[in-house]
Structure 1
Amino acid sequence: MSQRFSVLVLGATGFIGSVIAGRLREEGHAVTGLGRHPDRARNQHPDIRWLKADLNDLGRAADWAPLLRGQDIVVNCAGALQDGLHDDLAAAQERAMLALYEAAKQAGLRLVIQISANTMDAGAETAFLSTKRAADRALASSGVPHIILRPAVVIGRNAFGGTALLRSLSALPGPIPLAYADSPVATVSVEDVATCVARAVTGMIPADGDYDLAAAEDMSFRDLVTLHRAWLGLPPARILALPGFLAGPVSALADLAGKLGWRSAMRSTAIAVMAGGVSSGRQGAVPAGMTFMKASQALARHPAGVQDLWFARLYLLKPLIVVVLSIFWMLSGLIPLVDPAGAASFLRPFMPVAAVWFMTFATCAVDIALGLTVLYRPWTRRALLGMLIVSAAYLAGGTILTPGLWLDPLGPFVKVLPSMVLAGVAIAILEER
């Protein structure tokens, strides 16, 4: 029987970290998962011990000491694509890691496994890759036994970020528009990444090594999208190759959304990386004895179901739904202000003049506030619930005061119902992991 260890997995609620944590637990290791929001993961995996922490707040070795107590090995799967509302790459991917290495040395940890990236590829100047590179170099010179793994684009059963974008692009109707369609994209299955980590934990991969993880095949961005389309069971579609500069306005909007808390896979960091492609690795060695699945093999292991098709089609519709709801509610609050007297006229038979004006301006303010707050990701769910509650209140009050509006040819009441359904759909598909 191979030796069992206590392993702390950072970012254990993420796309890669969740698979690694599950694999290590299956092999009998005592796994502790660390994440910012582990509540759902705790319900799904009660056999894993869960800790709630934010790497942004772990900038000193003393901050790590209680988290490392009783641990033998740390696997770092945490990371973020770009600075945003809750993401500080310098804090989470560099300062927190340097503090971790110092604490690991003090605690005498057996091993630190860093899930990194090919930091010398296109986009090397971005904060994402530069902070990863700084952390890798610090780990290599820290004196802590370590292994650095550099996976290419990771694909698997689940999808998040870039992999979710791949699926959604592949499911578009008609010709599929792609910028950088011919950029090379190397891939590796998430199962193979987990296998490498499991081997590293048990000593089958030598410590103090730097390893590239990528399947031995040449693919382009268009090839990968076409492969995912076939996996979803959709007929072939023409790829419409677009000039790279057209990605600029899209990434600018995605960056703006990032400041509001939305983690779009089309932000400028992703575009910068895709412009030059993702290579099969030039920084490290290949782990001895490992053969990596090709993308087609990795997808074939998990045949797509109708839920995958739904996800692919809804992924890009979600931001559109949120924006449409925002515009709808802001306009519903702004348009009455063009002629407030006319907007208030239907209330005059039912209440005093002062109350009429108060209700008119108050409802306009509520509508505008909901239209704005739904764009701010930490408040989106509450704003959507508010839209449902306010809509129900409008319909109930309007039905009592002016039931004849249900028969109005322009349907002011009837039109509220689709907006309520759309808000419900947004709530249903809001979470991404």
Structure 2
Amino acid sequence: MKILILGATGFIGSAILDRLKSDRHAVTGLGRNVGRARLRMPDAQWLSTDLATMRTPEDWQPLVAGHDVVVNCAGALQDGLSDDVAATQEAAMLALYVAAKNKPSMRIVQISAPRGGAGAERAFLATKFRADDALAASSISHVILRPTLVLGRNAHGGSALIRAFAALPLAIPLVHSDARVETVALSDVTEAVSAAVADLLPDRSDLVLGNSERLTLGELVALHRGWLGLPAARIVALPAAFAAPAGFVAVMAGGVGAAPDQGNRAAIPLLSARQTLSANPAGVQDLWFARLYLLKPLMITGLSAFWLLSGLIPLLDLDAARQHFLRFMGEGPATALTLLTCLADIVLGIAVLVRPYAKRALVGMLALTAAYLVSATLVEPQLWADPLGPLVKVLPSILLSLATLAILDER
């Protein structure tokens, strides 16, 4: 079969693409940035498209005409400069359904989320559920699969946060640590999609994928801590007021765990969380990931503060700041160059906080720092021996920029 996978570069989508390729289907992966995926999996076809822009049936018509099945794994957790939740998860899907109605042989496999959990009013879940309802009400052949918290060799979203909390030193602060969480192995999700594509699941099925074992959030984090090879740590229960800043992991877990009586259950054996982790032994790279996951936003924030302050502080005493330039140029050019470097520092400090521009900002920081060091070494080499170390202290910021650049990728 010819299969189109939406969101094929993501955590779930990439695994499904690999499984369907092994089933000998002709697979096309669609994503916003497919360059790296194309290098990893060159034997698949790839399309680079932002789903948020595909809001009319005409946008979908060529893709529908060229494929037998569409597997929708796409999603956006929250609105941002690069994400539009409603457009990606609802408007684009409604347009797809209209286009698919003109092809009776078309089947859509929708990867959604369980109903009945926490956070159903959030845009991420609300838009998914409205798209599900529209698909269920249509005449299109379809299967809706609702995985609970997905665990696999890799991690993203809620599973990544659980690993990060599991790696915290000394104690683990959690909101709703007693909340029950359902999990499903990524391999079981790909198996279910394979069955849906092969027409082994009844048409118009709507199935929850989750192991019957419902660990508490605290137990699940402790299980991951042991998987990472770390000694047991005390779980510190935080009040619900901390849910927004510190308990996002609990919200994510609650959002993907169905209530026991919600939805039809897949009549196939599913791996438990312990079995899933045992099948995917942790390596040192997993420990690095877990420890760096919560440090990354602190690293980005620290770099932002460093560059903003380096650009703003000279403006408080512009005359003193331009003295370095006055040694080899006139007053006007020295003032202009001082203001220009301050502006460049401020722009980089702001840009690194904006996800679509973060990589370019980090590269800009490295380039500008190199320019500062080279020019200062040529013009005022004595600064290297200054007791306050104005040049020596810049070297750690280069290492921090390199480390942040190295771990910036989300997928």
Q: Which category of TM-score, normalised to the shorter sequence, fits these structures?
A: over 0.9
**1:167 is matched by which residue type in structure 2?**
R
Instruction: Confirm or deny that 1:166 pairs with 2:145.
Output: no
**1:299 is matched by which residue type in structure 2?**
L
How far has the Cα of 1:24 moved from its partner?
0.6
Measured in 2, the distance between the counterparts of 1:183 and 1:277 equals: 12
**2:337 is matched by which residue type in structure 1?**
M
Partner of 1:101: 97
Q: Tell me: CA distance 1:128–1:281, structure 2 relative to 1, closer, same or farther (3 Å).
A: farther
CA contact (8 A) 1:12 1:21 kept: yes
**1:379 is matched by which residue type in structure 2?**
Y
Instruction: Confirm or deny that 1:325 pairs with 2:325.
Output: no
Partner of 1:126: 122
Q: Deviations over 1:9-58 (max 9, x none)?
A: 11111100111111010011111111111111111111111112121111
**2:178 is matched by which residue type in structure 1?**
D
Query: 1:212-361, aligned counterparts within 5 Å?
Result: 212-249=208-245, 266=248, 272=251, 274=253, 278-279=257-258, 282-288=261-267, 290-361=268-339
Task: Please list every run of at least 4 consecutive aligned residues from structure 1 whose deviation after the TM superposition is greater than 6 angstroms.
Answer: none
Measured in 2, the distance between the counterparts of 1:101 and 1:361 equals: 55
Measured in 2, the distance between the counterparts of 1:374 and 1:37 equals: 20
Partner of 1:52: 48
Measured in 1, the distance between the counterparts of 2:341 and 2:246 equals: 34
Which of 351, 365, 386 lines up with 2:343 in the alignment?
365
Unmatched runs of 5 consecutive residues or more in structure 2? none
How far has the Cα of 1:101 moved from its partner?
1.4
TM-score, L = length of structure 1: 0.91
Give 3-state SS (helix, strand or coil) of 2:237's partner. Answer: strand
Give 3-state SS (helix, strand or coil) of 2:139's partner. Answer: coil
Which of 26, 39, 43 lines up with 1:43 in the alignment?
39
Identity %: 53
Measured in 2, the distance between the counterparts of 1:202 and 1:323 equals: 48
How far has the Cα of 1:428 moved from its partner?
0.7
Partner of 2:394: 416
Instruction: Confirm or deny that 1:29 pairs with 2:34.
Output: no
Measured in 2, the distance between the counterparts of 1:175 and 1:345 equals: 50
Measured in 2, the distance between the counterparts of 1:361 and 1:250 equals: 39
Partner of 1:201: 197
How far has the Cα of 1:277 moved from its partner?
7.5
How far has the Cα of 1:392 moved from its partner?
1.0
CA contact (8 A) 2:82 2:356 kept: no
CA contact (8 A) 2:114 2:256 kept: no
Partner of 1:390: 368
Q: Tell me: CA distance 1:78–1:277, structure 2 relative to 1, closer, same or farther (3 Å).
A: closer
How far has the Cα of 1:336 moved from its partner?
1.2
Q: Deviations over 1:162-185 (max 9, x none)?
A: 111111111111111111111111
CA RMSD of the aligned region, Å?
A: 1.6
Q: Tell me: CA distance 1:230–1:249, structure 2 relative to 1, closer, same or farther (3 Å).
A: closer
**1:13 is matched by which residue type in structure 2?**
T
Partner of 2:145: 149
Most deviating of 350-359 and 196-205: 350-359
Measured in 1, the distance between the counterparts of 2:400 and 2:52 equals: 35
Measured in 1, the distance between the counterparts of 2:222 and 2:118 equals: 23
How far has the Cα of 1:283 moved from its partner?
3.6
How far has the Cα of 1:414 moved from its partner?
0.1
Give 3-state SS (helix, strand or coil) of 2:215's partner. Answer: coil
How far has the Cα of 1:120 moved from its partner?
2.8
How far has the Cα of 1:346 moved from its partner?
3.1
**1:168 is matched by which residue type in structure 2?**
A
**2:211 is matched by which residue type in structure 1?**
A
Measured in 2, the distance between the counterparts of 1:250 and 1:331 equals: 27
How far has the Cα of 1:128 moved from its partner?
1.6
How far has the Cα of 1:247 moved from its partner?
2.4
Q: Tell me: CA distance 1:360–1:75, structure 2 relative to 1, closer, same or farther (3 Å).
A: same
Give 3-state SS (helix, strand or coil) of 2:180's partner. Answer: coil
Partner of 1:258: none
How far has the Cα of 1:281 moved from its partner?
5.2
